Amino acid sequence: MADISQVLPAIDHTNLKQNATAADIRKLCAEAAEYGFATVAINSCWVKLAAEELAGTGVGISSCIGFPLGAACTEAKVAEAKQSVADGTTEIDMVVNGGLLEAGDLDAVTADIRAVVEAVPSTPVKVIIECCLLTDEQKEAACRCSMEAGAAFVKTSTGFSTGGATVHDVELMRRVVGDTCQVKAAGGIHSLEEALAMLDAGADRLGMSAGLAVAEEIAALG
């Protein structure tokens, strides 16, 4: 059973809204530093600002690339990842090419992921699989592609599609990747109870825009 003390350090404090402003990102960073969240998860245009805001805090930056559809060409994903690292990101969250996965072209799926992993060799890459659109067989295949390509994490969801993280999907991903990759549950996690359930299912990281609400729940428990 996960302990409450594990929750806040596992959170990627998220603002991926298309109309997020610089003020919103500064606020996100201040909150992450205050509560000791793992990273802020943001669109790549804000990485440089976040790096300035978070300097010396110990909070990392998850730059989301090819987001939210994953349908950008590999070269674009590579360029975005490289620029994010140059701007100061500490982690990359890339969206898998769902069309290639749907068609069963697993070699191409793996190559797309590997190109990003190899482009930023010192930066952990999380692969967003968008489980809500896939069969369990496809989820398993995407996890295997991610492992083969050298990804550091597999991740359940963007939070922008038809569903978010589920206990079932986290358990499935953990079963497939074992200790080879870490697992990030993201999308639709709104409460302490839900966060603990994801950790119990095998998640190492939690992508959440409700991190403050969970922090308040924890504070209320004394």
Catalytic one among 77, 155, 169, 204?
A: 155
Q: Supply φ then ψ for residue 94, to 5 degrees.
A: -110, 145
Catalytic one among 93, 112, 169, 204?
A: 93
Question: Who contacts 73 (Cβ-Cβ below 8 Å, separation ≥6)?
Answer: none
Contact of 84 with 44, CB cutoff 8 Å = yes
Task: Answer yes or no: 82 catalytic.
Answer: no
Task: Answer yes or no: 93 catalytic.
Answer: yes
DSSP annotation of 42 reads E
Nearest Cα to Cα of residue 98 among 58, 139, 61: 139
**From CA 172, how far away is CA 86, in angstroms rounded?**
34
Q: Supply φ then ψ for residue 108, to 5 degrees.
A: -70, -40
Sign of CA dihedral 120, 10, 69, 15: negative
**From CA 83, how far away is CA 44, in angstroms rounded?**
8
Half-sphere exposure of 90 (CA within 13 A, CB side): 14
Task: Answer yes or no: 184 catalytic.
Answer: yes
Q: Which residues are catalytically annotated?
A: 93, 155, 184
